């Protein structure tokens, strides 16, 4: 496994227009992307149309079409990929809801351990709406939730991506969870 520095170098080379760097990068980052995708898919209903591999494929298509993203480092890349996965699943959920004309809203449980349970999948549309509201109120807290809950980043990793201290991420994480729970209960 290449070091984080080597991955960052490939990302920056790809940003500079070297398409061969993407070819070298893809097999290196695939396992980590698959882990993130599995975390997302574990929160979905068991018979979901998309699978982790298809979700990665969708992310890849969107990344290849990106015009000149300047990658800061490995953590930045995985944070962007996690955000893309969330958007893909949210768009999918919204399209399903439109065809069904409604659906039952279920509260989502924010747990520090981020475990996989046998309970019904959270309503990603309601969560996405709440996260959009949180981002309008406090963008950094929204980013912390996205990185921690969806991206599976540790407090330290999220702090590096956001350029803040570990304590700031801990505080933002606690406050964001409370804010989101309140908003989702209101719905």
pLDDT tens per residue, range 56-69? 888 888 887 666 67
Q: Is this structure's pTM higher than 0.75?
A: no
User: How far is Cα of residue 179 from the mean position of the Cα atoms in its chain?
Assistant: 19
- The pLDDT tens digits of the residues spanning 30-52 come to 888 888 888 878 777 776 777 88
User: Of how many residues is the chain composed?
Assistant: 187
The arithmetic mean of pLDDT across residues 76-92, rounded, is 86
Taking each helix axis as running N to C, give the angle between helix 52-64 and helix 74-100, from 0 to 180 degrees, rounded to the nearest 10. 110
Q: Which two tokens stand for residue 16?
A: 């500079």
Provide the number of structural domains found in the chain.
1
**Confidence class for position 19, pLDDT limits 50, 70, 90:** confident
Confirm if 50 and 92 have CB atoms less than 8 A apart. Answer: yes
Domain containing residue 92: 4-186
Strand residue runs (E) in 122-186: none
Is the pLDDT at 122 greater than 80? The verdict is: no
Question: Are 185 and 107 within 8 A, CB to CB?
Answer: yes
């Amino acid at each position: 496994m290449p070091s984080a520095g080597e991955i960052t170098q490939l990302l920056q080379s790809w940003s500079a227009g070297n398409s061969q760097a993407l070819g070298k990068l893809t097999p290196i980052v695939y396992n980590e992307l698959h882990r993130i995708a599995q975390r997302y898919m574990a929160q979905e209903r068991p018979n979901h149309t998309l699978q982790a591999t298809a979700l990665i494929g969708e992310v890849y298509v969107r990344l290849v079409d990106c015009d000149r993203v300047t990658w800061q480092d490995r953590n930045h890349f995985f944070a962007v990929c996690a955000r893309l996965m969330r958007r893909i699943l949210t768009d999918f959920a919204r399209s399903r809801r439109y065809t069904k004309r409604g659906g039952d809203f279920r509260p989502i449980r924010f747990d520090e351990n981020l475990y996989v349970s046998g309970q019904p999948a959270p309503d990603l549309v309601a969560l996405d709406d709440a996260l959009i509201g949180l981002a309008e109120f406090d963008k950094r807290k929204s980013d912390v939730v996205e990185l921690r809950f969806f991206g599976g980043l540790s407090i330290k990793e999220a702090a590096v991506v956001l350029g803040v201290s570990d304590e700031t991420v801990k505080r933002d994480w606690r406050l964001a969870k409370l804010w989101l729970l309140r908003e989702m209960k209101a719905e």
